Amino acid sequence: EYTMSEVMAQNLNLTEGTAVSISTAQELKDLATYTNDGKNTKGVTFKLTDNIVLNENVLNEDGTLNETSIDTFEQWQTIGNLTYNNGVVTEIAVFEGVIEGNGKYISGIYIDEAEKYGVGLVAMLKNGAIKDLTVKDSYMYGERRVGAITGVLDGGLLVGCASEENYLDANSFSTGGLVGEFMDGIIEKCYNTSYVEGNSESGGIVGQMRGGSIYQSYNNGIVQNRVEENGGIVGILRKG
């Protein structure tokens, strides 16, 4: 087993079956850098061994952005990266491994990018898994496909995850408490207590659902749309 710091220091490209521990904010940032550099995550397990705070006091007590401290916040670079141009999505880097939250939380994610596609802790989770992880006290604003855990879920598993007291917003559509766009896979035993907003297709768990299944999950957060189509669990169900 490696630490994420060791992976970066040795410039490793990990192979399937490898386990990596993450215990600090810097090591979480290193995971984003490692993934966005196009290195292998498939079959690799990244395990949180401590709670991680990326920024402090991102939100005010009423859940709005703490604008008085905004200049001190470090923008989060998503784990993975997608682009969207003229209706075409390009998967520049996707996360295909496993994040074992181990009952820990990540707080203080700050993303304010009005033209970003695929906004969340992870931009796109593809045939991987995120387990037993809470994202809380974070602010995420993008163009479309916004979710506290992952902007897009395409295959794989989200289980035992929570979005707690975050502010999530898309200036276009597909905002979900946990997942912006759900294409395939399973979401199980997850919940949301965050504020979710967008122009349309906003939902407490998933913004836009194109496939997959949701089990034993609930929403206690406020979901609002500026234009149309919102739902307590799913903003718009196209297939599933």
% of the chain surpassing 90 pLDDT? 88
pLDDT for 191 equals: 98
Q: Are the CB atoms for 120 and 143 separated by under 8 Å?
A: no
Average pLDDT, the chain: 95
% of the chain surpassing 70 pLDDT? 99
pLDDT for 159 equals: 98
pLDDT for 173 equals: 87
Query: Which ranges in 3-145 belong to alpha helices (H)?
Result: 4-9, 25-36
> Average pLDDT in the 189-205 region?
95
Residue 82 has φ and ψ, to the nearest 5°, of -120, 150
d(CA 202, CA 209): 10
> Average pLDDT in the 65-72 region?
96
pLDDT for 56 equals: 97
DSSP state at residue 95 = B
Q: Are the CB atoms for 193 and 138 separated by under 8 Å?
A: no
pLDDT over 80 at 230, yes or no: no
pLDDT for 231 equals: 80
In 3D space, the residue among 21, 7, 14 whose CA is nearest the CA of residue 104 turns out to be 21
pLDDT for 240 equals: 67
How open is the CA angle 24-164-181, to the nearest 5 degrees?
Answer: 95
Considering only residues 60 and 88, tell me which one the structure prediction assigns the higher pLDDT: 60
pLDDT for 170 equals: 95
Tracing tokens 């939100």 back to the chain, one arrives at: 59
Q: What share of the chain is helix, strand, coil (3-state, %, to 5)?
A: 10, 55, 35
- pLDDT tier, 226 (very low <50, low <70, confident <90, very high otherwise): confident
> Average pLDDT in the 137-161 region?
96
pTM > 0.85: yes
pLDDT over 80 at 228, yes or no: no
Q: Are the CB atoms for 217 and 187 separated by under 8 Å?
A: yes
